[in-house]
Structure 1
Amino acid sequence: MKDPLVRALVVDHTAPGHLSLTDVPVPRPTAHETLVRVEAVSLNSGEVYQAIRPETPNGTQLGWDAAGVVIQQAADGSGPAEGTRVVTVGQAGWAELRATPANLLGTAPENADPGALSTIPVAGLSALRVLRRMGSLLGRRVMVTGASGGVGRYAVQLAARAGAHVVAISRSPAQADGLRNLGAQEVHSEPAAVRQPVSAVVDNVGGQYLVDAFASLSAGGTLFCVGRSSEADVMLSTDTLLGAEGPYGRSIHSFFLTGDPTTDFSADLTWLAGEIATGRLHPSISWRGPWTRHAEAVQLLLDGRLHGKAVLDLG
């Protein structure tokens, strides 16, 4: 007797967007994993670029962000009960079913839009957790590069709510009004255009943007490397790092959301889901369609024409 199958998006280098819908085995949850019926997923640039790399094997299942409904509670009693709406982070999420441990799953209000929830995991968690590492933001100038992207839009909203004067950096002039509506008080096309120092930076771009953003830091300021959408290397002089060129005591910190697999994201996912459901946070969905149109979404992302998140509904 053959194992039961479900549909999933897997790497296929012969298909448009290097992804194809195909049958894969139904996931077998361990005793501490909840089985979730996925209703919507969102795309992140990192996993899309992973899909198109020639060295990624055909058949690889990708996907960090997924939202849906619990259809089987974990055997050990952890996690939510059957019928609970949830948002999840992990691997192989672009599939009809996902097995998820309790630390990678948050509960959501029953009436929450699964598509909006699916934008939360990587983008929302990254923004929330990196801003917390900055300490109190009340009255401080905080720069967000790549502000029109998924992480950037959440960072702008959350920093503004924490009392920061948000300086948003976006290469697209058309995004300026939208970023101001999310809470940005300044919008510039590049970090070099910012004239007043900032005390902290959320950098999602890397390359020259990181160099110029670091130069804008005041004494003791901190830059957090969250993403590298430019795909460019960073060159900082030794004098700059030692403080001989510019204010003294500035620092650069790395950030990697899933560096520790034991990290418990459940409380943060649940809080973010509640904020999305009540409208206090905006999911910034810029493209949405059925997952049969995945190639279209992938190409828009690769072309740099997506600002915010792309969502695929499984339907």
Structure 2
Amino acid sequence: MKALTATGRPDVPVAFAEVEQPRPRPNEALVKVEAFSVNRGETFKLEDPAARWQPGKDVAGLVVQAAADGSGPAACTRVVGHPSGGGWAEYVAVPTDALAELPESIGSVQAAALPLAGLTALRLLRVAGPVIGRRLLLTGASGGVGHYVTELAAAAGAEVTVVVASAERGRRLVELGAAEVVHEVADATGPYDLVLESTGGADLPLALARLAKRGTLIWFGQASRTPATLDFFDFFAGPESATLRHFHYADSDVPDSEDLAALVRLVAAGRLTPEIGRIAPWAETAAVLADLRERRIRGKAVLTVSASI
């Protein structure tokens, strides 16, 4: 079968190769991939790919071989999945606890935009707790996670301030429920009961300073790729008794399959909108990766898979 594999070259980070079709473990279903989405974090891993690493964590397609242990969807079921890798291919083996069935109302392109960003947003807000009536600051809001968090938090009653680079990107977030748009963390007035911080670098201490007394900052990303320096004496000058928490989306007691099914239900009910800034055939993956890395794509980028490549 054909798959996109890492080249280690900065100009063309992936290329097509003929590889062996996956042999599913007993708890895995074999999925024919119809669409996959790419994530900015994957562009960083492609700079220095580990040996035998196969990219691809967000897929949607058709189960062509059900899991041998009897778990998960049956053959011929349309699914969205979150494998550990290997999804940028014609076929991928996915553990059944990382699969959710799709209704006819949700296409593969929409579904492929859900897994990593949607799971991150859902679990961030679960960790944050009830947000009704709380002031929330979200940095790095123009990506896939930011759109999902904004829509879900605003619908749950939060007053959401988003940090984005441009007014154009901010307008869409206002449509999804953001109460205020700023272009720099320094422009956010606060104080905020909750800060969701994804950029690191100089923004992290600035965001921390905007916390209300006993507020919480959840740090879930390092998009700036710049180390953050914190002076913990700043807690005494501003957010007294504040909480600083690190978050990783994979650290969850809820299986991916359950949370993916919840995301699918929200989309089907019109309560969650996959924000897709680019749809392209998978032959254009290398170019899309470059645009995603340089922040030229708002929301998610989805590639459609064709066997004719």
Match of 1:244 in 2: 236
* Distance in 2 between residues matched to 1:189 and 1:148, nearest whole Å: 11
The change in CA–CA distance for 1:170 and 1:15 in structure 2 (over 3 A counts) is closer
Task: Verify the 8 A CA contact 1:10 1:59 in the aligned structure 2.
Answer: no
Task: Verify the 8 A CA contact 1:87 1:107 in the aligned structure 2.
Answer: yes
1:220-249 per-residue CA deviation (whole Å, 9 max, x = no partner) reads 111111111111111111302xx2221211
Q: Does 1:291 align with 2:282?
A: yes
Task: Verify the 8 A CA contact 1:103 1:263 in the aligned structure 2.
Answer: no
Q: Which of 24, 42, 47 is the matching residue for 2:42?
A: 47
Q: Does 1:69 align with 2:70?
A: no
Q: Which of 14, 17, 32 is the matching residue for 1:19?
A: 14
Match of 2:174 in 1: 180
* Distance in 1 between residues matched to 2:167 and 2:205, nearest whole Å: 22
1:280 Cα deviation from its structure 2 partner: 2.4
- SS for the counterpart of 2:202 is helix
Match of 1:33 in 2: 28
Q: Does 1:274 align with 2:265?
A: yes
Task: Verify the 8 A CA contact 1:113 1:277 in the aligned structure 2.
Answer: no
Match of 2:77 in 1: 84
1:17 Cα deviation from its structure 2 partner: 3.0
1:64 Cα deviation from its structure 2 partner: 1.1
Aligned partner letter, 1:309? K
Aligned partner letter, 2:149? A
Task: Verify the 8 A CA contact 2:2 2:19 in the aligned structure 1.
Answer: yes
1:59 Cα deviation from its structure 2 partner: 5.7
1:112 Cα deviation from its structure 2 partner: 1.4
Task: Verify the 8 A CA contact 2:197 2:220 in the aligned structure 1.
Answer: yes
* Distance in 2 between residues matched to 1:52 and 1:15, nearest whole Å: 6
* Distance in 2 between residues matched to 1:58 and 1:31, nearest whole Å: 25
* Distance in 1 between residues matched to 2:12 and 2:176, nearest whole Å: 31
Q: Which of 188, 196, 209 is the matching residue for 2:190?
A: 196
1:251 Cα deviation from its structure 2 partner: 1.6
Q: How does 1:49-128 map to 2 (within 5 A)?
A: 49-53=44-48, 56-57=49-50, 60-90=53-83, 91-128=85-122
Aligned partner letter, 1:307? R
Q: How does 1:115-264 map to 2 (within 5 A)?
A: 115-240=109-234, 243-259=235-251, 264=255
121-130 vs 249-258, which moves further? 249-258
* Distance in 1 between residues matched to 2:12 and 2:289, nearest whole Å: 6
TM-score, length-normalised on structure 1? 0.92
Q: What number of residue pairs does the alignment pair up?
A: 305
* Distance in 1 between residues matched to 2:237 and 2:60, nearest whole Å: 47
Task: Give runs of ≥4 in structure 1 deviating > 4 Å.
Answer: none
The change in CA–CA distance for 1:74 and 1:281 in structure 2 (over 3 A counts) is same
Aligned partner letter, 1:29? P
Task: Verify the 8 A CA contact 2:280 2:304 in the aligned structure 1.
Answer: yes
Q: Percent identity?
A: 39
- SS for the counterpart of 1:133 is helix
Let me know the Cα RMSD of the aligned residues. 1.6
- SS for the counterpart of 2:4 is strand
TM-score, length-normalised on structure 2? 0.94
- SS for the counterpart of 1:70 is strand
Unpaired stretches in structure 1, ≥5 consecutive residues: 1-5
